[in-house]
């Protein structure tokens, strides 16, 4: 059967880029979950990763660098019928937009955030990113990165994010399964995707990851925040993949719409005459 | 004719605003028109704050400097403001008098001490209201009915105690009313409505069908958020307190993309953070309304004071070129309609619309006999189109059919330069076409803009914009009474500038531009755009609004200097 999310737009990524795996996994996940493209909105920021929405047949909001999450939050709030996905690179989500990520976790909107985490800035040609290892050498970090890396999963779990997972773009099947769970999850879902940059990151290559990644086993209890946090700290010789943490809780939309009589925020016309009269009367 | 000015001063947290608010409502109920302005510091307790209420038995639009009654909740109020009290005026409250000349009546009354005798210092405000209403000759029935209404929810005991506090204040003053007591005819022609600029901006948005408001709290615009938040449940409006102004505007744009009518509000510093978002709205052609409640800067400046110095900024904010609307409401009533018009025009042309408010407009309360709700066409959001839809179809007007996601068509928008379908492109031929498409809207936008209000005058013409409307109107009237024939030109729609301004401005006798900024920003804007000379400017940038009597003097100085 034809996948309605397939698009024939020319792709501007480097040959062999880790982004291709994410694109394929996402397209298939959406298809297998039975979504119609019209119901899906992909929101992104700026960077190579942020071009992804253009390569699917979906609604696209390709906004500003770092600002995809506030826009995604509002799109979902305005029309809860839409499936809203924010996706971008690690510079966009963890650097420029880091603050928005923290506050989105607090709001718990029913959106999925997919981060292409390649530990390097691609489009600006090779600088360290928030997730680069300390000591990472680049044209800017000539002394090696002096800052330690940002730990997205640990931060998200510490903040009690509703759903926290890590995938690897080198395993499209595995990533697809994670994405399907994230997209079906009710609440804020963060999926950090390890994605080798074949042009600028000579350290964290496909080979480097393949030697290290493994999936969390049945013995991992994603309902246990402390254990999930512990697991999120594991990095180096062994890097865990899979769903680290799940905490079902009421979403922002549920809490808001439970208290108002309207099903959405879409334009309903100006206030009716009697409401205008009532409002003016309140100023008397 | 009654034309009284009452100033109530004290430390922040002492209840100046409470006393002023109750008093304004009582005056309105008693048939007086009121205009009240607030002056406060950026702190929660202590310092000095005051509210100045002018009451008249005909509509009143601005404040004067000389006081008929100064109400001191503390000693500092007395020291700072006693010289503003007219000869024959009154000073009421708790203060130690110093070397009074004797031409002012001093009524020393410690509101707090009286309240303590009633059992609790919380009643001090009500003792003050009672004392003031005795001096102003307000009918006791009206005052007590109001108290009952306000405190009814808190139970009979609270009502009774507040009533007792009122009476105590009334009796303790120990003088007969200075103003005439209740005049029934005044009430027949008196005001009905009392509102401030922030309430009006929020109400305008609500009436326009705004369903999404995201903002970061910032003086002086927070009141808009408070107003809309108080209506969330009833109307299904979402008010979200964003983590910063960048999030606020990106949220508003996201909501508008999805099909909501969305607005955000801030002050100059927050607007600085929103500027990239403004460009996003322009590039994606998503209509969004942004309120900038101006206060003095640069940077944090004077957080709680007023200013009109962001005009050039908001007109030019953002990199590259894009069309936008800029409005500046004249007073609260105008603000209701300006917001509604901003939503309508932002949507019609799919551009951002900016509303310039300021602390003076935001916090000043104005009373009206009637509030006119202008008829504004309703162009509903979201056309339903077929599947081969292109969000940025090239059209002669530059405005493309706007669909919202979730229906038949896929809606693709991009902050990058994009093709007709919204996909990013680096094809420079398409870039040129898209840029021209966006800019092409300008011509029709210009035709939408209304000419400024124009009142003729042979000797000179006052020129102003936004919140100075009430002041300039009163200054003109006062000068006319003195036989000085001054006209008035006043803008509330500023960008694009109305067409045909050059001829119009050249025809004006002796224009004098009056603005709350240093350069004379409207003046320089008009000079550049309409190629006229507007060298005579009266400016004020100390964070306070113009006052009628002071401005009259400055206009006369200018005229005499000629």
List chain B domain ranges.
3-190, 195-368, 453-560
Region for residue B350 given its phi and psi (left: phi exceeds 0; alpha: psi -120 to 50; beta: otherwise): left
DSSP at A38: G
Whether B180 shows a pLDDT value over 80: the answer reads no
pTM, to two decimals: 0.97
Of B199, B254, B422, the CB nearest to A70: B254
Region for residue B218 given its phi and psi (left: phi exceeds 0; alpha: psi -120 to 50; beta: otherwise): beta
Average pLDDT over residues A189-206: 94
Residue ranges of domains in chain A: 19-251
**Cβ of A133: how many Cβ atoms within 10 Å?**
15
DSSP at B362: H
Model pLDDT, residue B179: 86
Average pLDDT over residues A265-277: 92
- Judged by CB atoms closer than 8 Å, whether chains meet at B252 and A74 is answered as yes
Model pLDDT, residue B140: 83
- Judged by CB atoms closer than 8 Å, whether chains meet at B410 and A46 is answered as no
Angle B221-B227-B232 from CA coordinates, rounded to 5°? 130
Report strand pairing: B460-465 vs B105-108. Answer: unpaired
Question: Chain A contact for B211, CB < 8 A?
Answer: yes
Q: What mean pLDDT is reported for chain B? A: 94
Do domains B195-368 and B453-560 share one topology? The answer is yes
Burial (CB < 10 A; 0-12, 13-18, 19+), residue A158, is middle
Peptide bond into B220 cis (omega under 30): yes
Confidence of residue B101 (pLDDT cuts 50, 70, 90): low
Question: Chain B contact for A78, CB < 8 A?
Answer: yes
Q: Where are the alpha helices (DSSP H) in B412-452?
A: 428-448
Average pLDDT over residues B15-20: 92
Q: Select the residue from A97, A264, A270, A273 to test the B interface by mutation, using most B Cβ atoms within 10 A.
A: A270
Whether B380 shows a pLDDT value over 80: the answer reads no
CATH 3.40.50.920 fits B453-560, yes or no: yes
DSSP at A92: I
Model pLDDT, residue B339: 98
Peptide bond into B268 cis (omega under 30): no
Give yes or no for a contact between B125 and B106, defined as CB atoms under 8 angstroms apart: no
Q: Cα(B84)–Cα(B52) distance, rounded to whole angstroms?
A: 12
Question: Chain A contact for B242, CB < 8 A?
Answer: yes
**Measured between CA atoms, how close is B352 to chain A, in angstroms?**
15
Whether B386 shows a pLDDT value over 90: the answer reads no
Q: How confident is the model over B236-282, as pLDDT tens digits?
A: 999 999 999 999 999 999 999 999 999 999 999 999 999 999 999 99
Average pLDDT over residues B77-87: 95
Q: How confident is the model over B185-196, as pLDDT tens digits?
A: 677 889 999 999
As a whole-number percent, the residues of chain A with pLDDT over 90 amount to 96
What torsion, rounded to 10 degrees, do the Cα atoms B77, B543, B55, B201 define? -130
As a whole-number percent, the residues of chain B with pLDDT over 70 amount to 97
Q: Cα(B222)–Cα(B359) distance, rounded to whole angstroms?
A: 11
Average pLDDT over residues B367-387: 80
Question: Chain A contact for B214, CB < 8 A?
Answer: yes
Model pLDDT, residue B388: 76
- Judged by CB atoms closer than 8 Å, whether chains meet at B406 and A79 is answered as yes
Q: Cα(B250)–Cα(A71) distance, rounded to whole angstroms?
A: 5
* 3-class SS of residue B173: helix
Whether B184 shows a pLDDT value over 90: the answer reads no
What values do phi and psi take at A56, rounded to 5?
Answer: -125, 155
CATH fold for the domain made of A19-251: Rossmann fold (3.40.50)
Whether B387 shows a pLDDT value over 70: the answer reads no
Whether B102 shows a pLDDT value over 80: the answer reads no
Model pLDDT, residue B183: 67
Q: What mean pLDDT is reported for chain A? A: 96
Q: Element (H or E) spanning A274, and its range?
A: helix A273-281
CA B448 to chain centre: 23
Q: Cα(B242)–Cα(B285) distance, rounded to whole angstroms?
A: 22
Q: How confident is the model over B55-68, as pLDDT tens digits?
A: 999 999 999 999 99
Q: Which residue is closest to B258 within chain A, CA to CA?
A: A75
**Measured between CA atoms, how close is B406 to chain A, in angstroms?**
5
Q: How confident is the model over A17-68, as pLDDT tens digits?
A: 999 999 999 999 999 999 999 999 999 999 999 999 999 999 999 999 999 9
**Measured between CA atoms, how close is B334 to chain A, in angstroms?**
14
Question: Chain B contact for A272, CB < 8 A?
Answer: no
Model pLDDT, residue B214: 98
Of B236, B253, B262, the CB nearest to A260: B236
Of B212, B414, B423, the CB nearest to A74: B212
Class assignment of domain B195-368? alpha beta
Of B207, B233, B424, the CB nearest to A54: B424
* A195-214 core/surface letters (b: 16 or more CB in 10 A; e: else): bbbbbbbeebebeebeebbe
Q: Residue B72: which of B55, B54, B49 has the closest Cα?
A: B49
- Judged by CB atoms closer than 8 Å, whether chains meet at A70 and B251 is answered as yes
Q: Which residues of B touch A262 (CB under 8 A)?
A: 211, 235-236
* 3-class SS of residue B372: coil
**Measured between CA atoms, how close is B242 to chain A, in angstroms?**
9
- Judged by CB atoms closer than 8 Å, whether chains meet at A270 and B207 is answered as yes
- Judged by CB atoms closer than 8 Å, whether chains meet at A267 and B259 is answered as yes
Model pLDDT, residue B181: 58
What values do phi and psi take at A21, rounded to 5?
Answer: -65, -40
Confidence of residue B144 (pLDDT cuts 50, 70, 90): confident
Confidence of residue A1 (pLDDT cuts 50, 70, 90): confident
Q: How confident is the model over A223-243, as pLDDT tens digits?
A: 999 999 999 999 999 999 999
Question: Chain A contact for B444, CB < 8 A?
Answer: no
Average pLDDT over residues B363-379: 93
Whether B381 shows a pLDDT value over 60: the answer reads no
Model pLDDT, residue B384: 61
- Judged by CB atoms closer than 8 Å, whether chains meet at B257 and A61 is answered as yes
Model pLDDT, residue B147: 84
**Cβ of B59: how many Cβ atoms within 10 Å?**
17
CATH code for the structural domain at B3-190: 3.40.920.10
The two tokens of residue B65 are 């400097």
**Measured between CA atoms, how close is B388 to chain A, in angstroms?**
12
DSSP at B388: T
Sign, CA torsion B179/B183/B186/B190: positive
Average pLDDT over residues B393-413: 94
């Amino acid at each position: 059967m034809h996948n309605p999310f397939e698009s024939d737009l020319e792709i501007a990524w480097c040959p062999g880029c880790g982004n291709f795996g994410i694109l394929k996994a996402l397209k298939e996940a959406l298809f297998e979950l039975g979504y119609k493209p019209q119901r899906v909105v992909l929101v992104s920021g700026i960077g190579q990763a942020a071009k992804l929405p253009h390569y699917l047949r979906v609604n696209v909001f390709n906004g500003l660098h770092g600002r995809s999450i506030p826009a995604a939050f509002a799109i979902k709030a305005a029309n809860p019928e839409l499936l809203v996905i924010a996706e971008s690179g690690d510079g966009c989500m963890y650097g420029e937009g880091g603050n928005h990520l923290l506050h989105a976790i607090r709001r718990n909107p029913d959106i999925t955030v997919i981060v292409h985490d390649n530990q390097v800035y691609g489009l600006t040609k090779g600088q360290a990113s928030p997730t680069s290892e300390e000591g990472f050498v680049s044209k800017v970090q000539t002394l090696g990165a002096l800052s330690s890396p940002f730990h997205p999963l640990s931060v998200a779990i510490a903040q009690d994010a509703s759903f926290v997972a890590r995938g690897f773009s080198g395993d499209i099947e595995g990533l697809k399964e994670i994405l399907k769970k994230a997209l079906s999850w009710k609440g804020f879902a963060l999926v950090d995707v390890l994605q080798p940059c074949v042009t600028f990151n000579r350290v964290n290559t496909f080979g480097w990851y393949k030697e290290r990644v493994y999936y969390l086993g049945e013995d991992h209890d994603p309902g246990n925040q402390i254990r999930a946090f512990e697991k999120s700290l594991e990095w180096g010789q062994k890097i865990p993949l899979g769903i680290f943490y799940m905490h079902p809780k009421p979403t922002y939309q549920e809490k808001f719409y439970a208290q108002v009589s309207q099903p959405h925020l879409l334009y309903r016309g100006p206030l009716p005459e009697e409401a205008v009269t009532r409002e003016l009367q309140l100023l008397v | 004719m009654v034309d009284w000015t009452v100033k109530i001063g004290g430390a922040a947290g002492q209840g100046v605003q409470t006393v002023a608010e109750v008093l304004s409502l009582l005056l309105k109920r008693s048939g007086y028109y009121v205009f009240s302005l607030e002056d406060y510091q950026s702190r929660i307790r202590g310092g000095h704050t005051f509210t100045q209420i002018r009451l008249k038995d005909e509509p009143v639009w601005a404040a004067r400097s000389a006081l008929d009654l100064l109400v001191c909740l503390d000693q500092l109020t007395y020291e700072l403001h006693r010289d503003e009290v007219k000869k024959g005026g009154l000073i009421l409250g708790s203060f130690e008098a110093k070397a009074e000349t004797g031409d002012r009546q001093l009524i020393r009354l410690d509101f707090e001490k009286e309240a303590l005798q009633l059992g609790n210092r919380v009643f001090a405000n009500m003792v003050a209201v009672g004392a003031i209403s005795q001096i102003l000759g307000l009918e006791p029935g009206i005052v007590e009915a109001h108290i009952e209404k306000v405190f009814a929810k808190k139970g009979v005991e609270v009502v009774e105690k507040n009533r007792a506090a009122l009476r105590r204040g009334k009796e303790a003053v120990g003088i007969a009313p200075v103003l005439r007591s209740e005049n029934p005819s005044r009430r027949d022609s008196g005001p009905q409505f009392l509102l401030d600029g922030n309430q009006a901006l929020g109400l305008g948005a609500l009436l326009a069908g705004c369903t999404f408001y995201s903002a970061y709290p910032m003086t002086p615009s927070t009141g808009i958020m408070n107003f809309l938040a108080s209506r969330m449940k009833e109307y299904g409006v979402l008010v979200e307190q964003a983590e910063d102004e960048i999030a606020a505007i990106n949220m508003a744009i996201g909501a508008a993309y999805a099909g909501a009518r969305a607005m955000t509000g801030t002050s100059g510093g927050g607007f600085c953070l929103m500027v990239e978002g403004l460009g996003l709205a322009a590039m994606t052609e998503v209509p969004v309304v942004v309120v900038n409640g101006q206060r003095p800067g640069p940077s944090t400046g004077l957080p709680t004071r007023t200013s009109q110095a962001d005009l050039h900024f908001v007109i030019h904010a953002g990199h590259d070129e894009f069309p936008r609307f800029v409005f500046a409401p004249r007073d609260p009533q105008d603000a209701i309609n300006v917001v509604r018009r901003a939503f309508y025009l932002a949507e019609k042309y799919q551009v951002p619309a900016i509303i310039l408010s300021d602390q003076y407009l935001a916090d000043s309360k104005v009373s009206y006999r009637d509030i006119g709700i202008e008829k504004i066409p309703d162009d509903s959001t979201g056309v339903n189109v077929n599947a081969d839809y292109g969000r940025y179809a090239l059209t002669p007007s530059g405005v493309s059919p706007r669909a919202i996601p979730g229906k038949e068509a896929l809606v693709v928008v991009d902050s990058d330069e994009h093709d007709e379908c919204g996909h990013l492109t680096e094809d420079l031929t398409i870039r040129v076409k898209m840029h021209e498409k966006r800019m092409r809207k300008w011509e029709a936008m210009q035709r939408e803009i209304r000419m400024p209000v124009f009142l003729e005058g042979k000797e000179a013409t006052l020129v102003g914009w936004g919140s100075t409307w009430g002041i300039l109107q009163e200054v003109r009237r006062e000068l006319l009474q003195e036989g000085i024939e001054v006209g008035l030109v006043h803008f509330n729609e500023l960008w694009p500038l109305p067409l045909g301004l050059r001829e119009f401005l050249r025809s004006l006798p002796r224009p004098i531009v009056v603005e709350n900024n240093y350069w004379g920003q409207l003046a320089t804007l008009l000079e550049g755009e309409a190629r006229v000379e507007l060298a005579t400017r009266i400016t004020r940038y100390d964070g306070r609004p113009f006052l009628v009597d002071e401005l009259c003097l400055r206009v006369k100085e200018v005229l005499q200097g000629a």
